């Protein structure tokens, strides 16, 4: 891994409250190898990520469990092959627009209550509608990316192993309320993933 990519990955790790540990070559279940970056941290939200620079970072706690490390590695490798993930960059501006629209909606609501002018309610309703749409589109896009990556992982490790790994994670990791909200907005639940897997499998 060249020094530029490594430096950018370290910045990304710092941004997610993690700490760079080392680079490491991991074996892929199909027999290949992949160089990844190992990081640590108790407050990090995810066990692995594909950074915007197409480097893979994996939490050091994953390395203690072969099944889990295989799943995380395959999942993140699938993200590196999603060329359409670049659309996430403009969608970030859509998220910002959504929060501004939500703020505008509440300002309109307060103005309506203060002035007793129902005309401001129209601005409130439009603000809420625009905000919901602006936030929903990036969430749906993120769900599609995560479903695709999980489908690739399931294709390697099998559906039953995937379910067992996710159940183990549920017992081990105790996420905070904020991390749970973020996870639900960006990642589908296991049940939804399985439903979509069966649906696409039937279509195949």
191/122 same-domain check: yes
Range of the domain at 27: 1-81
Final residue before a domain boundary, out of 24, 57, 81: 81
Q: Can you tell me the mean pLDDT for 68-80?
A: 94
Q: Can you tell me the mean pLDDT for 151-158?
A: 94
**What would the two tokens of residue 57 be?**
């970072």
Confidence of residue 198 (pLDDT cuts 50, 70, 90): very high
User: Residue 20 — φ and ψ, nearest 5°?
Assistant: -65, 135
Percentage of residues in the chain having pLDDT higher than 70: 99
Final residue before a domain boundary, out of 30, 55, 81: 81
DSSP string for 18-62: -EEEEEEEEE-TTS-EEEEEEEE-SS-S-SEEE-TTS-EEEEGGG
Q: Count of alpha carbons within 13 Å of 90, Cβ hemisphere only?
A: 3
Task: Please report the pLDDT score of residue 193 as a whole number.
Answer: 96
Task: Please report the pLDDT score of residue 142 as a whole number.
Answer: 94
111/164 same-domain check: yes
Per the structure, the count of domains in the chain is 2
Its pTM surpasses 0.85 = yes
């Amino acid at each position: 891994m060249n020094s530029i990519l490594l430096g950018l990955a370290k910045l990304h790790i710092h941004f997610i409250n993690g700490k760079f540990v080392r680079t490491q070559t991991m074996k892929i279940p199909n027999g290949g190898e992949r160089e990844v970056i190992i990081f640590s941290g108790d407050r990090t939200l995810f066990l692995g990520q594909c950074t915007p620079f197409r480097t893979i970072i994996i939490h050091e706690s994953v390395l203690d469990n072969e099944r889990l490390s295989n799943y995380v590695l395959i999942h993140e490798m699938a993200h590196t092959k999603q060329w359409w993930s670049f659309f996430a960059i403009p969608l970030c501006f859509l998220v910002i627009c959504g929060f501004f629209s939500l703020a505008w909606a509440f300002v309109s609501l307060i103005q309506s209550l203060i002035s007793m002018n129902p005309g401001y309610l129209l601005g409130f309703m439009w603000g809420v509608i625009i905000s919901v749409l602006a936030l929903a589109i990036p969430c749906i896009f993120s769900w599609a990316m995560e479903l695709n990556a999980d489908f690739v992982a399931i294709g390697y490790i099998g559906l039953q192993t995937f379910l067992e790994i996710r159940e183990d994670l549920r017992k081990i990791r105790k996420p905070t309320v904020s991390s749970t909200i973020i996870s639900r907005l960006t990642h589908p639940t296991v049940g939804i993933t399985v439903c979509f897997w069966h649906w696409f499998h039937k279509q195949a």
